[in-house]
Structure 1
Amino acid sequence: MKNKIVYLLFLLPFFLIMILLLIFTPKTEALVFQYQNSGKTLAYLYILEGETFQMKYTHSIHLSDVVESYEVLSDGRIKQYELMYEDFAIGMPANASEGETFEQVDGKYYIKNMERIFPSFDLRVGKVRANHTLIFEDNEYPLSQIIEPGTWVRLKIETINLWQRWKGVNILEK
């Protein structure tokens, strides 16, 4: 009996160290959806430097689609490089800013070559008609199926560990 106790006491620290390594060591870059600005991860999407994603939503006034296109930069910031919309109306730009280009193609308006860089950005998942949708690798993921409509979320690029992955929802698995 005494030998078993000594043996277990010897193995216990080994297993604790292994568990801690498993939880805190494996880290992966991800687009993280955090609850407000609390740091609590609600959902995430594995994404690498140079990869792009889009946020599509229905404009609340003219009820047409708007698509914002983003790229992940090497320093973990997010660059908006394009905006597509279908109607000139309240809240939509009438032209491109300096260095950007404005195009009209098939009844849609594009502002390209944008260099708007953010450490993060916030959005409130639409309750009624916004239908915020993440587009990644030509697949669409409606946020309302993952995050409760009306929730304010902060999107940012973050290195997450195994523990954070367990707490959040991998958008690709939905």
Structure 2
Amino acid sequence: MKDVLRFRRTILLILLIALIISSLLFLPFKQALVFEYQNTGKILAYLPLKKQDTFQIKYTHSIHLTNVIESYSITKENEIKQYELMYEDFAIGMPANAAEGEVFEEKDGKYYIKNMKRIFPSFDLRVGKVRANHTIIYHKKEFPLSKTIEPGTWIRIHVKKVNLLEIMRGVNILES
């Protein structure tokens, strides 16, 4: 009888340990800006975020070869809101003016569209191969995407709570 009770306790303990390990591996707990391979859900890289954090994407425009900086914030609903755009040339692909409710400014030879309220659940980007040099700016530090994601790769960017397994599979951009 004691052997049966000991066996049941051992099995129960093993199941409890397995449940704890599974919970640690699979339960999402950390908010991150996630860079997925295409739309597969496979995380290539991530940027750990705090609630309602901000970040920027800087790149060199392919035609007029000047910097463009797009500024984003994270909403309470974990969506991405573009709130500002900075560029240096009105060439092809750049806006000539602000949309309704937005503010257009020219300062020190640069053009700004401010007060933008463009909200996205996600957006897609192809990491530049030649000269775009897509770079994430986070807390005034720059992280070129080409250091963690192969140039030419189509990625989907969105906010997601990630679990330990996803963290172990992806690359933390802050550590690259």
Q: TM-score, normalised by structure 1?
A: 0.93
| Aligned-residue offset at 1:16 | 1.1
Q: Secondary structure of 2:168's partner? A: helix
| Aligned-residue offset at 1:120 | 0.4
In structure 1, the partner of 2:96 is 94
| Aligned-residue offset at 1:6 | 7.4
Specify the code of the residue in structure 1 equivalent to 2:27: T
In structure 1, the partner of 2:111 is 109
Percent identical pairs in the alignment equals 60
1:69 matched to 2:71? The reply is yes
| Aligned-residue offset at 1:7 | 7.3
Specify the code of the residue in structure 2 equivalent to 1:89: A
Specify the code of the residue in structure 2 equivalent to 1:92: M
Q: Secondary structure of 1:13's partner? A: helix
Q: How many residues align?
A: 173
| Aligned-residue offset at 1:145 | 0.2
In structure 1, the gaps of 5 or more residues are none
In structure 1, the partner of 2:30 is 28
5 Å-filtered alignment, 1:2-151, equals: 9-25=11-27, 27-151=29-153
Contact persistence 1:31–1:45 (CA under 8 A): yes
Contact persistence 1:54–1:67 (CA under 8 A): yes
In structure 2, the partner of 1:162 is 164
Cα RMSD after superposing both structures: 1.8
Contact persistence 2:28–2:161 (CA under 8 A): no
Cα separation, 2, equivalents of 1:15 and 1:68 = 46
Q: Secondary structure of 2:128's partner? A: coil
Contact persistence 1:48–1:72 (CA under 8 A): no
Q: Secondary structure of 1:49's partner? A: coil
Cα separation, 2, equivalents of 1:122 and 1:11 = 46
| Aligned-residue offset at 1:17 | 1.6
Contact persistence 1:50–1:74 (CA under 8 A): yes
Q: Deviations over 1:100-140 (max 9, x none)?
A: 11111111000000011101001000000000000000000
Match of 1:152 among 150, 154, 169: 154
Cα separation, 2, equivalents of 1:25 and 1:150 = 32
Specify the code of the residue in structure 2 equivalent to 1:98: E
Cα separation, 2, equivalents of 1:122 and 1:81 = 18
Specify the code of the residue in structure 1 equivalent to 2:82: Q
Cα separation, 2, equivalents of 1:21 and 1:160 = 13
Cα separation, 2, equivalents of 1:115 and 1:12 = 51
Cα separation, 1, equivalents of 2:12 and 2:161 = 34
Cα separation, 2, equivalents of 1:47 and 1:7 = 42
Cα separation, 2, equivalents of 1:9 and 1:88 = 69
* Larger mean Cα displacement after TM superposition, 20-29 or 69-78: 20-29
| Aligned-residue offset at 1:12 | 2.4
